[in-house]
Amino acid sequence: MKTDDLIAMLGTNVEPVDRKYVLRVVGAAVAVGTLVAATAILLAFGFRADLTTTRAFIFLFSKLAFTIVTVVLTAIMLTKLARPGGERRISIVWVASPFAAILLLAAVNLAFAPSAHWERMIVGDQWLECLLSIPIIAIAPFALITWAVRRMAPTDLRRTGALVGLAAGSISAAAYALHCVDDSLPFVALWYGGTIVLCTLAGVVLGPRLLRW
Amino acid sequence: MWAPEAELKNLMLAGLDGDAAAHRSLLTSLSNYLRAYYRRQLGRIGRSATDAEDLVQEALLAIHTRRYTYDPVEPLTPWVHAIARYKLIDHLRRTRTSLRDVPIDEAPDLIAEGDHDDTESTHDLGKLLGQLPEKTRRVIEYVKLEGLSVAETASRCGLSESNVKVSVHRGLRALAAAIARERQQ
């Protein structure tokens, strides 16, 4: 085939393009993914039962703040990374900042607590449930966001995959927070942070296979 | 120094708004830059001009079918360059060529020179179209090859207009995918 023939074909009946397409599709995938994850958690475990106390409310709020800030920052980065050459326009520092903050707070929290309480603060009651639920529930938002990013044109598939995993993991962690009653900061830093990092690593591995175009 | 950037970007923006003449002229200019770029890159590792033309066409298809990923507040050349380089590396990976010999290059390298010497690629449009589902193939033939309007095609095929538009878009992407599969074999 002659290149001129291809150009003639592509240049015939050119449709106008939706300039907000990337934002719309990635945004929709993140929103639907969040909805699916929250529904799955509430159906499987139900809402945390003790929300009548102010204390529980504050802890729920701070867990949601950590995870939702991560989701929003990651989604913004993804709308850049999903475009060709986008890896030059983003900085990983942004998505790392919520993790740095929660680790710092957890360290301060431990420093002021007697060391006899440390194990209880770190291990909590439901660490196993948390460790399993977050990655499993993350599969749904992961699939949705992968579907969205596949329609785009990322050129750094590992980094894009990492952010897809990070977004899915933090969406799932936000949903899990609706149920979880382990409220110590070291617990959140280790088990929420750790499972989100796990999802991110899965994204690094899967990105080059799933996101090729 | 980057003289073509402003001109190319204007054509791109007009094309995004549906200006077919601007879009065609953008693709023609880009094809010349892409050809020079791929011949230079592939020449370094002893590959032929036909390989380069294959890549030019793959890059053009990608640019066209994924043009909504261009962010109008950014310059155009780095966007095109990122696609061109991605397709180059993907091609070398598929053909199992060592990536060690691929030099790092920057966006200005893409528009450093142009090459008008259009040769035939190995892609056979008729054969590629034959791989598409019947409905999609007919819609592509009417809208993109014969130049019938979307409305006319819709009434001929008994489809809605939005259905025709979606089929055209899917069809072109399927063509790009068919080319990629062909290369892998």
DSSP string, A18-52: -TTHHHHHHHHHHHHHHHHHHHHHHHHT-S-TTTT
pLDDT digits (tens, 9 = 90+) for A61-98: 999 999 999 999 999 999 999 999 998 888 888 888 99
pLDDT digits (tens, 9 = 90+) for A133-176: 999 999 999 999 999 999 999 999 999 999 999 999 999 999 99
Which of A1, A12, A83 minimises the CB distance to B125? A1
Comparing CA positions, the residue from B175, B55, B65 lying closest to residue A14 is: B65
CB proximity A13 to B under 8 Å: yes
**pLDDT in the model for residue B59:** 96
Which chain B residues are within 8 Å of A82, Cβ to Cβ?
Answer: 69
**High-pLDDT (> 70) share of chain A, %:** 100
**pLDDT in the model for residue B101:** 67
**pLDDT in the model for residue B3:** 66
**pLDDT in the model for residue A143:** 98
**pLDDT in the model for residue B1:** 40
Q: What CA–CA distances, in Å, run from A52 to A48, A49, A181, B44, B74?
A: 10, 8, 13, 70, 50
User: For residues B42 and A167, what is the distance between their CA atoms, to the nearest angstrom?
Assistant: 38
Residue B153, token pair as written in the block: 């095609």
Average pLDDT in the A187-197 region? 94
Average pLDDT, chain A: 93
Predicted-complex ipTM score: 0.90
- φ/ψ of B120, rounded to 5, equals -80, 145
| Cβ pair B149:A89 closer than 8 A | no
Which of A1, A7, A84 minimises the CB distance to B31? A7
Which chain B residues are within 8 Å of A21, Cβ to Cβ?
Answer: 68-69
The answer, yes or no, to whether residue A42 has pLDDT greater than 60, is yes
CA distance B71 to chain A (A): 8
> pLDDT 10s per residue in chain B (185 long)?
456 899 999 999 999 999 999 999 999 999 999 999 999 988 888 777 788 999 999 999 999 999 999 999 999 999 999 999 999 998 888 777 767 767 778 888 888 788 877 778 888 888 889 989 999 999 999 999 998 999 999 999 999 999 999 999 999 999 988 887 776 66
Which chain B residues are within 8 Å of A85, Cβ to Cβ?
Answer: 78-79, 81-82, 107
| Cβ pair A19:B72 closer than 8 A | yes
Query: Residue A97 in 3-state DSSP?
Result: helix
**pLDDT in the model for residue B185:** 60
Q: Could you give the residue ranges of the DSSP H alpha helices within A45-91?
A: 54-81
pLDDT digits (tens, 9 = 90+) for A90-121: 888 888 899 999 999 999 999 998 888 888 88
Which residues, listed in sequence order, are joined to residue A2 by a DSSP beta bridge?
Answer: B120
